[in-house]
Structure formats: C-alpha cells, structure tokens
C-alpha cells in the first residue's frame, strides 16, 4: 500500500484538529482448546493466555501509536463465546469462575475491555446457554472490564422469542445489580451478530476465526463533520462523494496500522471496521454531521434520509480503500455518547420511535439509551424484538443496548462517566405488547432467507 506525502499531511491535520483516531484495536483469542470439565482449570488456563496476549497487545499498540503518531483510544480482547467454553462444566458457578479469571487477565494486561461473554441462541438455547444467561447479572455486576452479548436472532433463523422474553427479566436484574445500571451498558442483544466486530459491548471471537486475529475499529466523525461543513452549498450527490473520499483516507490509515500491528504480534489481520463511532468530546459527533448536512436538529424531518446518505457513503468509501472491511461498518448512533443526540432528546426533537426508525438505515441499532427503571420486563423484550426484526428482515446487523435506570423517569439523566457519557431517560409508550411477546416460540425467518 503506497501512502503519499499529501495523505500524510491530511492525516496529521485530522489528528490534530478533528479528533481522528483508531478507536479500537481488538485482538480476538480462541479459547476452545482450553475447554475442561473443571471450571477452575478452564479459568486458570484462560487467565494465563489472555494475560499474555493482552500484555503484548498493549505494549505493541502503544509503541506503534508513538511511532506513527496516530492515537489509539482502546486496546481490547475478545474471546470465544463463553457459553461454548463452559459446556462440559457441571458446576453452576462455572460462568462466574470463568468471568472473574477473564476480568483479572484484562486488569493485569491493561486492556480496556474483554468481549465475548455470551451465547448464540438465535434458534435455541443449550443448557450451557441458559446457565450463562442466568448468570449475567452476577457476572457483569461483579466484573469491571467484561462485556456480554446474546445473539437472539438471524435472518436465517428468525427471532428466538423465548430467549428474548428471558432477557427482559435478566436486564431488570442486571440494572439492579450495579450502580447506575452499569451492567446493562456492558451488554448488547444482537440480530446477525458479526464474528469479527472490534467494538464493545458486542465483540466476540467467532468459530470461523483463526487462533488469534486483530480487528481494527477506526472512527472519525469529527473528520467527516469538518469536511461536510466545508461544503455547505454542494448538492447531495457531491456531498456523498466528499464523504466517500474522506472515509477512504481514514480507512487506509486504519488498515496500515492494523496490518503492521498484526505482523508485530504474529497474528492474522482480520478486518477494518469503518464505523463512525462518536464520543463525548466536543465535535466528535454523528449528530453534528447530520446537522451539518442541513438538518436543524437530529430528529427533524429528513433525518433518516440524511443518515442513509451518510451510511452509504461510509460503506462505499471504506470498501474502495480496503478488501478487508468487516465487523459492523456503518454508523453508531448511541444516545449517551453523542452530545448532539443528547441535546436532541432533551429538546424533544428525538424520541424513541424516531430513533428506532433511524436504525432501519444505520448498521448498529438502538445503542446506549436509557428508559425508566419501572419499565416492565415484557416491554423491554418488545423493544428488543422490534429492533431485531429490523435486522432480520433487512439482512443486516442490529443490536440493542438499553438501560432501564432504577428510580429514573423521563427527563432524568443517568451519568455513566468516561466514554459511555450520560443518557437522558427516554419515555416509553404506555401501550403494552405483553400478550404478544409472552406467546414465546420463534418468530420465523423471512421468506428471503430461502436462498439455497
């Protein structure tokens, strides 16, 4: 890959003035060969391997960042789905024993998060899957850096409503288990979960991956916002071209660093995830990109069309720059982590219905939003099912990170601190879908799944 002087200077400007960074370097680690009937033996072997791999990742990532001058925000690990690992363990506390060991490894290595404590239950759940699900409140409540996931749906299998109904109750327990419902912020429910996603909370090391693979999550909403602001009068066709060219440059920088780091670690290079991921830093906002396009505020008429244009341009720009684009690759619209989104909710311009509609064109879903703590478990299930249905029918990844904030009502705010930001509590429709979700069973896959 040839990098010219002009690109170097442009990238330097992005870093200095527009918040460009490598948002996540995530090393996926296979643990299937460590499976053992004794939970303590499994946990100790996993702790040793992850401590070693994580320590090397942090050391080499820091050296590479210093050498290339590109900030790396998060160094992360992901593991084989934990439900697979505890399959032969008879002890009821196997999930917690493994979780504590993985969390200890993360702390010792200095990685920010470890993903993969979850299960793939889109068609049904094994005994190990159920044990892991029931342990999630305790596991995520008693660990600091561990993240969990459940893949509840796929375009091939439909939606496992039995598991989704169970999750509604578990989310309420998770919210009660930690201050500010922090456990819920470390968990995501998926449809069509990718096996190579570097972003938390949904990262896991899929069954089709190598023993270890490095996935790179780039970002750059501040960069895209700046270039959109520089072209206030161009038509939408040209605006799309401007965004595509910008994302092309961001992706090339991410792939360059990712390949070099994978070489130094001696692992496979996985994917570049080209998602635009906002932060609480001023200007580092997807909402501000949409407003720079011409919206008075996120949530105004035209929001979904503007977001669709942005997503399309991001995907095309990334695909032109790399043959290894994967993961989620789109645009995150987390309420708590984007100052423009927070402002839109607080001003009344953006509500849950509009946010859900936006996810029909974004590639991530309902992310980091808070609802009243007294929201019934069945209503949480129904919200999740609505979002997963969008992913199933449209053959795309969608996820839900919902925080039922104990003691909070619409208009209140939950402050998570750091990158997770603060979430204004959003009103939930009072009408109930309880009788529907309590039917259980499996919501069938769409006819478009019959492609063989």
Looking at the predicted structure, is the pLDDT value of residue 410 above 60? yes
Tell me how far apart the alpha carbons of residues 185 and 201 are, in angstroms, rounded to a whole number. Answer: 8
Region 91-116 average pLDDT: 95
Strand 72-79 vs strand 113-120: parallel, antiparallel, or unpaired?
Answer: parallel
Residue 87's pLDDT band (boundaries 50, 70, 90)?
very high
The two tokens of residue 162 are 């039995």
Residue at token pair 């105004």: 300
Output the average pLDDT for the chain.
Answer: 89
Within 13 Å of residue 331, how many CA atoms lie on the same side as its CB?
A: 32
The Cα–Cα gap between 269 and 32 comes to 20
Q: Which of 388, 386, 391 is nearest to 429 (CA)?
A: 386
pLDDT at position 4 is 54
pLDDT band for position 451 (50/70/90)? Answer: confident
Over the stretch 177-195, which tens digit does the pLDDT of each residue have?
888 888 999 999 999 999 9
**Across 9-28, average pLDDT:** 65
**Does pLDDT of 16 surpass 60?**
no
The dihedral formed by the CA atoms of 83, 87, 90 and 94, expressed in degrees to the nearest 10: -30
C-alpha 346 chain-centroid distance: 24
Of 349, 28, 68, nearest in space to 199 by CA:
28
CA dist 15 and 83 (Å) reads 40
* pLDDT value at 17 more than 70: no
d(CA 413, CA 50): 36
Has this prediction a pTM greater than 0.85? yes
Average pLDDT value for residue range 413-420: 81
Give the residue with greater pLDDT, 395 vs 178. Answer: 395
Over residues 310-324, mean pLDDT:
88
In tens, the pLDDT along 127-148 reads: 999 999 999 999 999 999 999 9
Question: pLDDT tens digits, residue range 206-231?
Answer: 988 999 999 998 877 888 888 899 99
For the cut 70, the answer to whether the pLDDT of residue 289 exceeds it is yes
Residue 416 pLDDT grade (very low, low, confident, very high; cuts 50, 70, 90) = confident
50-76 per-position pLDDT tens digit: 999 999 999 999 998 888 778 888 899
Residue 61 structure tokens: 């990532």
Which pLDDT score is estimated for 18?
46
pLDDT at 9: 45
The string over 310-341, giving b where at least 16 C-beta atoms fall within 10 Å of a residue's C-beta and e elsewhere, is bbebbbbbbbebbebbbbbbbbbbbbbbbbbb
User: What CA–CA distance (Å, rounded) separates 95 from 141?
Assistant: 13
Residue pair 28/209 in contact (Cβ under 8 Å)? The answer is yes
């Amino acid at each position: 890959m040839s990098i010219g002087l002009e690109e170097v200077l442009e990238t330097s400007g992005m870093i200095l003035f527009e918040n460009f960074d490598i948002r996540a370097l995530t090393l996926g680690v296979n643990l299937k060969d460590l499976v053992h009937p004794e939970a303590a033996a499994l946990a100790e072997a996993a702790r040793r391997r992850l401590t070693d791999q994580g320590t090397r990742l942090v050391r080499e990532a820091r050296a590479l960042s210093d050498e290339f001058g590109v900030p790396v925000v998060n160094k992360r690990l992901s593991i084989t789905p934990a439900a697979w690992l505890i399959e032969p363990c008879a002890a009821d506390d196997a999930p917690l024993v493994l979780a504590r060991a993985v969390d200890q490894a993360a702390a010792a290595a200095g990685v920010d998060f470890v993903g993969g404590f979850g299960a793939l239950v889109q068609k049904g759940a094994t005994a190990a899957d159920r044990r892991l699900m029931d342990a999630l409140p305790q596991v995520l409540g008693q660990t600091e850096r561990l993240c969990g996931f459940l893949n509840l749906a796929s375009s091939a299998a439909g939606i496992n409503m039995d598991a989704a109904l169970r999750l509604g109750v578990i989310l309420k327990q998770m919210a009660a288990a930690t201050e500010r419902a922090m456990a819920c912020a470390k968990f995501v429910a998926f449809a069509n979960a990718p096996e190579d996603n570097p972003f938390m909370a949904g990262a896991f090391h899929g069954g089709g991956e190598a023993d270890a693979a490095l996935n790179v999550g780039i970002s750059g909403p501040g960069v895209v916002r700046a270039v959109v602001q520089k072209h206030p009068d161009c038509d939408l066709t040209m605006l799309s071209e401007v965004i595509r060219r910008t994302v092309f440059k961001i992706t090339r920088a991410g792939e360059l660093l990712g390949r070099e780091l994978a070489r130094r670690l001696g692992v496979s290079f996985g994917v570049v995830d080209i998602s635009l991921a906002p932060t609480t830093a001023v200007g580092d906002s997807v909402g501000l990109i949409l407003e720079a396009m011409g919206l008075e505020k996120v949530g105004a008429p035209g929001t979904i069309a503007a977001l669709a244009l942005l997503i399309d341009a991001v995907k095309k720009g990334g695909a032109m720059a790399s043959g290894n684009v994967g993961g989620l690759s789109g645009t995150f619209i987390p309420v708590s982590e984007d100052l423009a989104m927070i402002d839109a909710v607080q001003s009344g311009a953006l509500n849950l219905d509009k946010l859900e509609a936006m996810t029909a064109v974004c590639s991530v879903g309902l992310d980091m939003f808070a609802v009243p703590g007294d929201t019934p478990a069945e209503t949480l299930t129904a919200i999740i099912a609505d979002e997963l249905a969008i992913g199933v029918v449209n053959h795309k990844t969608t996820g839900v990170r919902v925080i039922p904030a104990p003691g909070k009502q619409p208009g209140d705010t939950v402050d998570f601190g750091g990158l997770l930001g603060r979430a204004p509590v959003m009103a939930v429709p009072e009408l109930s879908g309880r009788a529907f979700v309590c039917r259980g069973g499996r919501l069938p896959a769409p006819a478009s799944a019959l492609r063989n």
